Homo-oligomer: A and B are copies of this chain.
Amino acid sequence: MSTNPKLSLLEEYALVARAVSAPARLMLLEQLAQGPRGVEGLAEKTSLTVANCSQHLQQLRRSGLVTSRREGKAVIYQLTDAKTLDLMDLLRLLAERNLARVEHILRGLSDGEDAPEPLSRDELAARLADGSVTVLDMRPVDEYELAHIPGALNINLADLEQLLPSLDASKEIVAYCRGPYCVYSHQAVAALRRHGLIARRLEGGLPEWREEGREVKTISWD
C-alpha cells in the first residue's frame, strides 16, 4: 500500500492484472467459464493440489474476478460476471497476436505473392450457412480446443498432405489461423494450391472472428 493516492489506485488495477498473471489461475478461470464448480472439482480438472487450488481461488476472489458461496460442506466458486470473460478474451487476443507476429517476422514472410484475395468474414459466414466451403483451422490443437469456427477441421501443416485425398475438390477451401500475421494459413493455402485445389485464406484470424461476436465452438477440455 502506498501513501500516494494516485499510486495506490494503480496498485488496485495491478492487483486485478496480477490475478490473471499466473497460468494456474488462467486454467481455473477457463474451467469456471464453463460454470460454477467446487474446489475439489477444480483441483482435479487442473491437476493442482487442493490446497494450492484453494489459495489460487482466494486470490481470484480478492481480485473480484470470481465470487464464492457455501453450499453444504462445499464451497462453490463462479465468475463474478461477463467482464471477467472479457478480460480473458482480451488477453487471448493480445497474446495470440504476439505469437503470430513473432512467427511472421521470424519467417520473413511477405504477403505479396501470387496469393488470391482473402475471404472476408462476412462472406465466410454466409457460405458456412449454405455449406459451400470446407474450413480448415491451422492452429495448434490446444488453441483449437479452446475455441474454433463451427465446422472447422483442425489440422497442422505437417499433416496437411495426408488430409489431401479426403478433401472434396469441388468445394472451395478456406484456411485460417491466429490472425493477419500468422503464417500457418498462408502456407496451407500455398500448399493446397500447389495440389490444384481451390483455396483461400480467411481475412484476419480467429481472434478477429470472435471479436466481431461471431459464433465459436468450444470443447470442454479434459
Contact = CB atoms under 8 A, between A and B. Distances in A.
A142 interface: yes
A13 B142 contact: no
Interface residues of A, number: 45
Nearest to A12: B95
Contacts of A22: 14
Interface string A59-96: 00001110000000000000000011011101111111
B12 A64 contact: no
Contact of A21 (B5, B17, B92): B17
- Assembly of this chain: how many copies? 2
Contact of A64 (B86, B98, B221): B98
B6 A142 contact: yes
Contact of A63 (B5, B14, B18, B98): B98
A15 interface: yes
Q: Interface of chain A, helix or strand or loop or mixed?
A: helix
Contact of A94 (B9, B64, B95, B140): B64
A97 B93 CA distance: 23
Contacts of A93: 83
Nearest to A92: B13
B83 A16 contact: no
Contacts of A145: 6
B5 A23 contact: no
A12 to B, nearest CB: 5
B21 A18 contact: yes
A94 B98 contact: no
22 contacts: A5-B141, A6-B145, A9-B140, A10-B26, A10-B27, A12-B95, A13-B23, A13-B26, A13-B91, A14-B26, A15-B95, A16-B94, A16-B95, A17-B18, A21-B21, A63-B94, A64-B95, A64-B98, A64-B101, A86-B90, A87-B90, A87-B91
Interface of A: 2, 5-7, 9-18, 20-23, 26-27, 63-65, 83-84, 86-88, 90-99, 101, 140-143, 145, 221
Given A7-B23, A17-B18, 18 more contacts: A5-B141, A6-B142, A10-B26, A12-B95, A12-B98, A13-B20, A13-B23, A13-B26, A14-B23, A16-B91, A16-B94, A17-B21, A63-B98, A64-B95, A64-B97, A65-B94, A87-B91, A90-B90
